[in-house]
Structure 1
Amino acid sequence: MAPHLVEEETIFTPQDEVWVDLRIEAEQMAEESSGDLDLLGRELLPNFLEVTVLRCDSLEECLATHLAQKLGWSAAPAERWYSILLTAFREGRAATGEHLKDLIRRDLVVIKERDPACPSLAHALLHFKGYHGLQVYRAANWLWRKGQTSLASIFQSRVSEVFGMDIHPGARIGWGVMIDHGTGVVIGETAVVGNGCSLLHGVTLGGNGKEGGDRHPKLGCEVLVGAGASILGNVKIGAGAKIGAAAVVLTDIPAHVTAVGCPAKVIGRAKEENPATSLDHSCRLVELFRSRTRPLCPFRKLDSQKKGFLGPHEFATQLRSACQVQISYSEASDLFFKMDSDHDGQLTEEEFNKNLPLYIDTLKSRPIRSG
Structure 2
Amino acid sequence: MVEAAITASDSLWQTIRSEAQRAAAADPVFGKAVASSILAHDDFVAALADLIGQRLGGGATERARFTSFSRDAFRGEPDLIEAAGQDLQAIARRDPAIADLLPPLLHYKGYVALQAWRVSNWLWRRDHRDAALLFQNEASNRLQVSIHPAAHIGSSVYLDHATGIVIGANVVIGDDVTILQNVSIGRRDELPARSPRIGSNVFIGSGATILGDISIGDFAKIGADTVVTSDVPAGCTAVGNPARLTNCPEPVAVA
What range is the shorter-chain TM-score in? over 0.9
Could you tell me which of 12, 18, 34 is aligned with 1:24?
18
Instruction: State the partner residue of 1:232.
Output: 211
Contact 1:198 1:224 in 2 (8 A): yes
1:243 to 205, 208, 222: 222
Report what 1:266 is aligned to: 245
What's the C-alpha RMSD, in Å, of the aligned pairs?
A: 1.8
Counterpart of 1:168 in structure 2 is 148
**2:46 is equivalent to residue 126 of structure 1:** no
Distance across 2 between alignment mates of 1:212 and 1:74: 42
Which amino acid counterpart does residue 263 of structure 1 have in structure 2?
P
The answer to whether 1:116 aligns with 2:36 is no
Secondary structure of the residue aligned to 2:55 is helix
Aligned-partner Cα distance in 2 for 1:148–1:210: 29
Match of 2:170 in 1: 190
- C-alpha separation in 1, matches of 2:98 and 2:164: 20
- Write the deviation string for residues 99-154 of structure 1: whole angstroms up to 9, x where unpaired: 10210110010000110122310111000111000000000000001000111000
SS of residue matched to 1:13: helix
In 1: Cα distance, 2:59 partner to 2:15 partner: 35
Alignment correspondent of 1:87: 72
Equivalenced residue count is 250
1:169-200 CA distances to partner (integer Å, 9 max, x unpaired)?
00000111111111000000010001111111
Which amino acid in the other structure matches residue 244 of structure 1?
A: G
Distance 2:192 2:144 in 1: 25
Distance 1:160-1:211 versus aligned 2 partners, 3 A rule? farther
Cα distance in structure 1, aligned partners of 2:170 and 2:8 = 32
CA distance in 1, matches of 2:59, 2:26: 34
Mind listing any 5+ residue stretches in structure 1 that lack a counterpart?
Answer: 1-11, 34-41, 94-98, 271-296, 300-332, 336-371
State the Cα distance separating 1:15 from its structure 2 match: 2.2
| Distance (whole Å) between structure 2 residues aligned to residue 68 and residue 171 of structure 1 | 22
Partner of 2:84: helix, strand, or coil? helix
Q: Quick check: 1:144 aligned with 2:115?
A: no
**Larger relative contact order (CA 8 Å, sep ≥ 6):** 2
For residue 269 of structure 1, report the CA deviation from its aligned partner: 2.3
Q: What SS is found at the alignment partner of 2:26?
A: coil
Equivalence map 1:97-108=2 (5 Å): 99-108=79-88
Q: 3-state SS of the aligned residue for 1:231?
A: strand
In 2, the alpha carbon distance for the partners of 1:218 and 1:171 equals 10
2:33 to 29, 44, 48: 48
Looking at structure 2, the residues matched to 165 and 211 of structure 1 have their Cα atoms a distance apart, in angstroms, of 27
Deviation of 1:210 after TM superposition, in Å, equals 6.0
TM-score by length of 2: 0.93
Q: Distance in 1 between matches of 2:180 and 2:150?
A: 21
Measured against aligned partners, the alpha-carbon deviations of 1:34-81 in whole angstroms (never above 9, x if no partner) come to: xxxxxxxx53x1111111100111111111111111211248421121
1:217–1:236 CA contact under 8 A, matched in 2: yes
Letter in 1 for 2:9: Q
Q: Is the 8 A contact 2:93 2:99 kept in 1?
A: no
- Other-structure match for 2:254: 334
| Cα-to-partner distance string for 1:284-325 (whole Å, 9 max, x where unaligned) | xxxxxxxxxxxxx448xxxxxxxxxxxxxxxxxxxxxxxxxx
Distance across 2 between alignment mates of 1:47 and 1:219 = 41
Partner residue of 1:320?
A: none
2:8–2:82 Cα contact (<8 Å) kept: no
Aligned to 2:45: 60
| 1:211 Cα offset (Å) | 4.5
Structure 1 CA distance for aligned equivalents of residues 8 and 214 of structure 2: 36
- Residue in structure 1 matched with residue 3 of structure 2 by the alignment: none
In structure 2, distance between residues paired with 1:248 and 1:177: 21
C-alpha deviation, 1:82, in angstroms? 1.2
- Tell me, which stretches of 5 or more residues in structure 2 are unaligned? 1-5
Amino acid in structure 2 at the alignment position of 1:160: S
Q: Which residue of 1 aligns with 2:236?
A: 257
**C-alpha distance in 2 between matches for 1:240 and 1:250:** 18
